Amino acid sequence: MYDYAERIESFWDQKVRLSSDFSKKLLAHRKANRDRLIARLPDEIEGISLSESSFKPQGSFAMQTVIQTRFTEEEYDIDDGLVLWRHQLMKKDGAELTAIEVKEKVREALKDERFSRQPKLCSNCVRVFYADVDEEKHHVDFPVYRKWVDTEGNTTRELASEAKWEKSDPTQVNVWFENMVQTRNTVNEGWGSQLRLLVQFLKRLCRSRPDTEWDMPNGMKLTMLVVECQPDYHTRIDIAFRELINNLEGRLQFSKTIRNLAHPEKPTITRTESDRNVVELQNRCKEAVDKLGELDKPSNDNPESVRIVWDWIFKSDGFFKEFDEKRKEEEKKKDLMNKTTLIGLGAKTSGSGIIGTSGISNLPHKFYGDKTQE
């Protein structure tokens, strides 16, 4: 298959991963909300204490697998778990605050008159909205947890869900994923780091079309599948991603149930044995397998044929075409410079008219002609 790795790596750098400046902006908004909670939540819950250590980053932002959005209706999602001591979540009469009551107090502490849209209570978090109308639209979610230590020294954590406190660990998924990365890097240097890239590329494939066209699984399901199906490390990312798609299609043909590998004791994260969005993923993987298979034909061993396939997969919005055009222009300039250098060093011209090191020597010449005698 024609080597398209450089183009795909450049596409990842410019169109898939978040820029450093935008990441800093998102982190600054997260920090502002943390500061707001640290300063104001004690006014809502008397006797409570919290600091930076009370917050536990979660989700794709924490795992470094977040990708750029492609459509204006999409939002960036930053998850920042807030962990509070159970014995401090009390009412004035000594009764424990319920899950919904704690979330409501967190929402009150997060309110700010500068927000055009005030924080909202969601089923498992309190959501703060930013930039409703531009390409940097995002929100910061604060799942709220309570914790305590039992008589045997075991720490228990519970999430404030829609109606009650439910046992949950805010860092388990992040720790599990980071362990996967580190373990695979130990087995083969770069293999674990490539895991992150493959998660991001699969997300881009799945988010390359509007929801009205493709109904695809969420980031958690995709992450679990990539960890299951990641191929051996390959220096070429185009080959590694192709092998991942092959593995995924075969895996989903065998079973469409997706397990929560970070919480193996929990139920599967698919609702049925054949969720509609998982079926859709298998169908699209099959399409991708067929299209990539065409590139094994000798007649398609060229950048134009390969570009058509990768454009279908990622919907690059002209990125690959621009890359190829720029590369052709650079090669043209380089060739011209090489010929100019050869001429200056006494190049020769072959019988077929090619300038090089063999053939008839090129005579020295002057751009303004020889000086005539008067």
- The reply to whether 88 and 187 lie within a common domain is no
- 374 falls within a domain: no
- The reply to whether 161 and 189 lie within a common domain is no
| Residue keyed to tokens 């067929």 | 290
Cα(282)–Cα(230) distance, integer angstroms: 16
Last residue of a domain, one of 294, 319, 344: 319
DSSP letter (8 states) at residue 80 = E
Helices within 237-275 (DSSP H only): 237-254
Nearest to 130 by CA among 144, 112, 143, 145: 112
Last residue of a domain, one of 137, 169, 201: 169
CA distances from 54 to 85, 145, 156 (A): 9, 10, 15
- The reply to whether 250 and 279 lie within a common domain is yes
- The reply to whether 48 and 69 lie within a common domain is yes
Number of domains observed in the structure of the chain: 2
- The reply to whether 184 and 298 lie within a common domain is yes
State the 10-residue block means of pLDDT for the chain, 374 residues long.
Answer: 95 95 92 96 94 95 93 87 96 92 97 90 93 76 95 92 92 95 96 97 96 93 98 97 98 96 91 95 97 95 94 95 89 75 61 59 55 51
- The reply to whether 147 and 203 lie within a common domain is no
- The reply to whether 161 and 262 lie within a common domain is no
Q: What count of other Cβ atoms lies within 10 Å of the Cβ of residue 6?
A: 13
Identify the domain containing residue 100 by its residue range.
Answer: 20-169
- The reply to whether 190 and 272 lie within a common domain is yes
Q: How far apart are the first and last CA of the chain?
A: 67
- The reply to whether 233 and 122 lie within a common domain is no
pLDDT number for residue 183: 97
- The reply to whether 110 and 241 lie within a common domain is no
Cα(208)–Cα(76) distance, integer angstroms: 15
- 257 falls within a domain: yes
Query: Exposed, middle or buried: residue 331 (CB in 10 Å: 0-12, 13-18, 19+)?
Result: exposed
CA distances from 91 to 96, 121, 125, 126, 159 (A): 6, 20, 21, 20, 19
Last residue of a domain, one of 143, 169, 195: 169
